[in-house]
Chains A and B, each alone.
Chain A
Amino acid sequence: MSEQQALSQPLQTEEPLLNDQEMQFWLDKAVAWGQADSPDTQKDTCLHMSRLRDFLHQLLTQVNSMSSTTETMKRLPFLGQLLGRLCWNPYVTVCDTSRGLLLGCLWGLYSERPSNAVEKKANQWIRELPFTAKDRNNGKNKKTFSPQLGPSGRTGQMYGFRPEMVCLRVSPRRDHTVLHYHGMSFEEMTDKQSMRKVLCQLSTEEDETAAQALMKCTGVPAKEYHLKVLRKKVALLQENVGQSCTLFNSQRCSCDRIVDISEACIPIVTCPEASSLISLLLQRPVACVTEALSEDFLNALTSAYSRQGLALEEQALVSLWYHSFSSLEEAVLSLLQSVITTGLTPQKLEQQVAQSLLPKACAQHCSIFLVVNDIFRSILKQAEGNESVKTLVQTFTKCFLRELALLKPQTSISVKAFFPQSPSSLLVPLLTMPSEMPQGAWRNHLNWLSSSLQRLTEEEEEEEEGDGRSTRGHHNVFEAWFLLVQCAHWVQVAVQLLVTSGTEDGDPFLWLLIFYHYPTKRWHHRASQLARAKEAWNHIRTLFSGAAHPLPSDRLQSLGTLVSPQPEQQSFAPSLTVSLLVNVAVFCQLPPSGSAEVLQAVVDQSGLLDEAACVLSSLELRLNEGCCLSRDTVHLRIKELQKMITQMHSE
């Protein structure tokens, strides 16, 4: 033993060399796994799989860095034994990654042109290994091997006079076998043919005599047979899963078996043959108190899904989210990541949100919607000015409501259940879409909304003055604001109404807009923002009134300074200004070309081209969807503006 230890002394290399302890650890593991087949062993194997993968990766790197097989065998004397045992462990071979790493190590040991006796024997070792491991898997102590294996004439040579082979063979005194092997030098048992033999056995040997006879007599090839048997087994297990919970006695119920099945599926979550079984497991109705799906199973699914190694059908995915909070969280965050990029048109955004299946899942399970909204809340609290997040929340809610309406006939859950924290008086008014009420009613509706929200903020401010530490008012205002973000279609209507109101009082609308963009600006801050908003609004109105021609440069300039970021003062919400701008451009009385000219000038000055394009797209989308009276002039103006923007983009 010590000789081998001396041989495997670490050299001076930059990479951390695998130490003896690690190798011994894994060797012991491989031996233990091969000897027993109890549920505990299976569980242990599954728990160690990812660590084993990392270890195999390190091994592979090291094997590939060696210049010859001889060197490899000197440095890693137990490598052969380890690989051989692992080859026959179905938990290792079932996963594409670990199988690939294992084979990679084997290729590394294979010498195409063996330069010495050691290397000549190297592959034979690989070849010999399955003879012993094979028995172990069968549980029978086969003393002879099927003579079909191996080229004719060499069978006797296989286990006739190779003592190291004999000592590896499974005997009643298993541990003695292992110890005995350790005493042998590795070099004796290798040959070029060994690896080929292992691989031949792995893929073509049949454990069962009857299976082989039937295959031969019926002309069914092995590949087809094994696939059939696997599918049959999966179908039988699916029958098991499909059964509803039955009590055996007062303590145990049949859900125990389902837990076993779900745990057994952990190593095979990414295998397509198992996907129907896994789908069924996920969608099994939760009938009794016992947790039918193991935590490890759900975690395995989540990590496979995030690595994109999992193909789940829609309902199975929804069920996964329902069962596993972490998988839901991952899905939401990945949606966020994919949409918080510039250049996504509103249509594209809506498409992507719908495709993520999250709105559908939310409609089916109230709990999912609540979790998703909590995630949105926490993100908004950290970045309330982030327009793309706000737009996402609005689009998401829109898609969700659509899915909910599709489901509505079947469910009888009140809408309140989905929005438990929102102020109930505002819920229905805000959730109602503008298209669901006559256009003439919009003004009153918005006036009412604006004053309700104002009242809420005033309550909060009073509370703050009084107690200073009470947060209920603050909470109410936040929830009201969050609901407004979810239902931001009313904010868009407010802009439109403000722009088209003419001489009527637009203050409530302006207040609403300020509140939407600056929810936390309270007291005099809000008042000052309101004043600035009015100023910008005046500038814009004048620019588009058509009265001034050519465009007054001072107006342009002041608008420009108001919008662009200044070091001393915070820039006034560009998003608010842009939406005002675009809406005015669309609904003003100027001819389309004139309107486009003005907008171009402003955008030139302030550099908000992308934002303008975005607002224009969503305005067009809303007008098209909402079956508003299609005023031809409005649409002409939109077309003209779009043309202008495209032109500016290409410059």
Chain B
Amino acid sequence: MEAVLKNLASTVEMLAVAAQSDAVNHWDKQTLSRAFHWARYCEHIFSRFHNNAAIRRIMEKQLQLTNQTLRDTIPGYTEVSFSDLPRCQHLLLVRLLNNPELPSSLMKILFDTTRPVKTMHGDYEDVTGLCSHIVQCKSVYKVLSPLADMSALGADAEVQGEMLMERLEALLNQGSETCRAEQFLGSVLQGCEGALQQFCLVIAAALLTSKNCTAQTAAHDFLLDWLQKKHSLLQYMCSLLSPTLLKDLAKEHQKLRDASCNVLKKWASEMEYSLSDGEWVLTSTGPGVSFKKLTELFLALFDASPSLRGDVEKELNALKISDGDFDVTGLSVWGDLLSALNM
């Protein structure tokens, strides 16, 4: 264990050197390969030990110490946390490329365009063309992304949803550490600040992943519970979803069906009739929908669950009666809703 900790500390120091030191000027191909080799090593020890709480704590302690030392000696030092370890190679690459002292010889190696066979340079795997591959991969995607495909959410949202689910399942699998799972979702949400729309798509994609195993069902449940606690987020999500998407989601998850039904009813209750528009509109601030979309969303829910239709009809009727039971448009949102929904 001691050796592992030592290696961990050295690699973190190496990352710091890669980021800011002019020592990189003297790095050659061998050194570069070796650096990535140690970064890969850290990725490996993360995957081996991250489920082991005791070892994890020891490693975090070591990282704390190393970070402290480096913070004291290097101005503007960026810390490396335990959760950064699985992306250690990527961190190394980013730090190298952001280092003003990076020599062109290293850049040329990283951006080499000949397709390298996975060779071992001495004892270490060759990193020639590493960045070239990444750029090419991104470019191929950019070339293909304008094409219409079979997905309602898009390839990126689908992959992001899968990533979310995988991590969530792994966290929940480790026993009753639900707080970590909560933390995880919270940090993702925080990280998506300014891109809330995409976040909602990711949640939708996550809920639509279908592996048919107990782990996934548990994870879905957890996600739904978490979502329900975040009222404004749920509301925002409902305002974004297309009727088709809502239908697919409601079909799979009863909890979501009921929760979004409540959101729709809440919106309806907040609507006021605008004489100038000749329509019911939402006057409250925050995410909302038009009356037309509201009816479409209701219909989507009924499509997903025919039994819901009857329940909602009863409710709306009761509300209509309490509003005076008039059949004139513009007087009761419930009445107009009922007629729009053909009930």
Residues of A within 8 A of B (CB): 37, 39, 42, 90-91, 93-94, 96-97, 99-100, 103, 107, 110, 112, 137, 149-153, 192-193, 195-196, 199-200, 202-204, 208-223, 225-230, 232-234, 236-237, 239-240, 257, 260-261, 264, 267-268, 271, 273-274
Contacts and interface: CB of A to CB of B under 8 A. Distances in A.
Contacts of B110: 203
Given A90-B142, A99-B113, A203-B131, A221 B137 contact: no
Nearest to A100: B113
Given A209-B195, A222-B134, 17 more contacts: A90-B143, A99-B136, A100-B114, A103-B111, A107-B104, A196-B107, A202-B135, A203-B134, A213-B192, A217-B191, A219-B83, A219-B167, A233-B155, A240-B149, A260-B147, A264-B144, A264-B146
B62 to A, nearest CB: 18
B160 A94 contact: no
Contacts of A274: 140, 144
Given A208-B156, A209-B195, A234-B144, A219 B111 contact: no
Contacts of A203: 93, 97, 110-111, 131, 134-135
B66 interface: no
Chain B: interface size category = 35 or more
A218 B132 contact: no
B39 to A, nearest CB: 10
A264 B143 contact: yes
Contact of B156 (A97, A149, A211, A257): A211
Contacts of B76: 152-153
Interface string B101-116: 0111001101101110
Contacts of A225: 159, 163
Interface string B183-215: 010011011111100110010000000000000
B191 A212 contact: yes
A90 B131 CA distance: 15
B144 A218 contact: no
State the main secondary structure of chain B at its contact with A. helix
Interface string B88-108: 011001100111101110011
B229 interface: no
Interface of B: 46, 76, 83-87, 89-90, 93-94, 97-100, 102-104, 107-108, 110-111, 113-115, 130-151, 155-156, 158-160, 162-164, 166-167, 184, 187-188, 190-195, 198-199, 202
Contact of B97 (A110, A204, A257): A204
Given A151-B100, A217-B191, A236 B137 contact: no
B143 to A, nearest CB: 5
- Interface hub of A149, A211, A215, A218 (most chain B Cβ within 10 A): A218
A578 B111 CA distance: 60
Nearest to B134: A203
A96 B135 CA distance: 10
Mostly, the A contact residues are: helix
A267 B141 CA distance: 12
B156 A99 contact: no
Nearest to A92: B139
Given A210-B199, A217-B191, A239 B136 contact: no
A216 B191 contact: yes
A268 B143 contact: yes
A208 B199 CA distance: 11
25 contacts: A90-B140, A93-B139, A94-B136, A100-B114, A107-B104, A107-B107, A199-B131, A200-B94, A202-B135, A203-B131, A204-B134, A209-B192, A209-B193, A209-B198, A214-B188, A216-B87, A218-B166, A219-B46, A223-B133, A226-B141, A228-B163, A229-B141, A236-B149, A237-B144, A240-B149
Given A204-B94, A232-B155, A268-B140, A96 B191 contact: no
A217 B195 contact: no
Contacts of B86: 219-221
Given A93-B135, A218-B164, A230-B137, A150 B98 contact: yes
The 3 A-B residue pairs whose C-beta atoms are closest, nearest first, are: A213-B191, A219-B86, A100-B113
B150 A210 contact: no
A271 B184 CA distance: 36
B167 A217 contact: yes
Given A199-B111, A202-B135, A223-B133, A267 B158 contact: no
Contact of A42 (B146, B151, B156): B146
Contact of B113 (A103, A192, A213): A103
Given A99-B113, A203-B97, A229-B159, A210 B192 contact: yes
B155 A199 contact: no
Nearest to A150: B98
